[in-house]
Amino acid sequence: MVRVLLVDDEAVFRGSLAQRLRLRGYDVVDRGDGAAAIKAVEEDSRFDVIILDNRMPGKNGEEVLREIKRRRRSIPVVMLTALGTEQTEGAWACLQKPCELDELIRAIEDAHKSRLTLESGG
């Protein structure tokens, strides 16, 4: 089972997306801000993919991405942004929010497969 960390400050959106991903078989941990996301990554090395909102109060998604990559470089991060899909340095993918669930699942699966390939030396 793919373990996903979902980070978004919009509680209703985050809760709904987390539930939809769980129904698709993902193990989802959700957090509402960047500081909580960084703490989760520090405390739990089992995340396979991180879904990260770009616009949040406090630390924005790009700042959180840099902090996560300093701690766990190999975790792929899928950025969600309302600003367009311009690639963010260090992110596996950048999707426009809201995106179709199937598009997000494809990104999660591709990122997870890529991580497994890198870790196995392939």
Q: What is the mean pLDDT of residues 25-52?
A: 95
pLDDT at 58: 85
CATH number at residue 9: 3.40.50.2300
Give the range of the structural domain holding residue 32, as residue numbers without chain letter: 3-119
Q: What percent of the chain has pLDDT over 70?
A: 90
- pLDDT for 14 equals 95
pTM of the model: 0.91
Q: How far apart are CA 55 and CA 80, in angstroms?
A: 9
**pLDDT tier, 80 (very low <50, low <70, confident <90, very high otherwise):** very high
What total number of domains does the chain contain?
A: 1
DSSP-assigned letter for residue 54: S
Q: What is the pLDDT of residue 65?
A: 94
pLDDT of residue 88: 73
